[in-house]
Amino acid sequence: MNNPKPFLLITGFLGAGKTTLLRNLLHELGARNVKADVILNDFSNADIDVATLNPSLLSSVAPLAAGCACCDSLEELVQLCKTASNAKGDLLLVELNGTADPLVLLETFTLMEKRLAFFPRYQVCVIDARYWGKRDEFEILERRQLETAGFWYISHKNKVSKNRLKSVKELIKKTSSNSKEADIEELVDLLTKEVKEKKDSSNESVALSDSFISNNSKQKHLKDAAHKLSHRFTGCQFSLPEKVDSEVMQRLMNSLPNWVLRAKALVSILNEPHSRWLFEKVGAEIIQNPIPIYELPDTPSSLMCIGPKLAPDKIRKLVELEFGTTNPK
């Protein structure tokens, strides 16, 4: 086995702030001359989020578009990890999409330790202070994302009261008493320390065949209640004009119904035709400042929506109201 690299799995519900945490980690690691290989899993078009990452801070990056990376795309994800184990990066950062159940992926890494050269392995769950404990029927899925993690990171703390933040922390500790809170500096300190020490794995786990991973472990996982919820989510995508007015784009994002739990729009803006931007919405909240896109100059402008009860025809009518006739992808 190659000299093992540290590994960090980033999990959390839709819109919790996983990619924002990833960008911040890359920035701080880069300041310490540490570069990561990154695998970014998104529900539909992972290339969009990949393009928000500063390429100068990366050793390599691989997008994985899959609703549930622990099922049909598990083998592809494992193959990407194998490739990353031989890449030049100092460590591997993997972001799972917000509907994914991380349990079977963690089982896979344990069973394939002799083939996947990553050790130690850490998981941080991003908790949205605004919505923790308010996911209704999907709360069991968000709890699973936390229960498998060794660390948790609270996002959007500045958007809730002190009492709410205190309550969220108490609920988190009741849900997962064995995990602990970590901020960006603590995570970077931990990863940097592991990179410098380059510990060898002395774990004696038996390496099992790929067929065992993709059949036995996955079949048991498919019956799990939390996992079944992850399959309730669907996505749809609509073409947008090549260049749009930023106010019109904001108006469209504001008009999307609350059952669209996550929305992303990749566009060029009229008064800045040579730049590309990512507009985002989480539940009822619009992310006020669009994110600059570093890559994808030739990728068509589009709107992507994710939710458990999508009505594509209704979304299409909203798009047409602002931009005229369009077609879902």
pLDDT digits (tens, 9 = 90+) for 45-60: 778 888 889 999 999 9
Which range has the top average pLDDT, 7-16, 74-83, 137-146, 219-228? 7-16
> Which two three-digit tokens encode residue 325?
């006739």
Count of residues making up the chain: 329
* Residue 181 confidence (pLDDT): 97
Q: In what order do the strands lie in the sheet with 91-95?
A: 58-65, 36-42, 91-95, 5-12, 118-128, 151-155, 180-181
CA distance 131 to 159: 11
In which band, very low, low, confident or very high, does the pLDDT at 283 lie, cut at 50, 70 and 90?
confident
Whether the model pTM is above 0.85: no
Domains in the chain (CATH in brackets) are: 5-197+211-228 (3.40.50.300), 234-323 (3.30.1220.10)
Give the helix, strand, coil percentages of the chain, each rounded to 5.
Answer: 40, 25, 35
β-pair partners for 64: 41
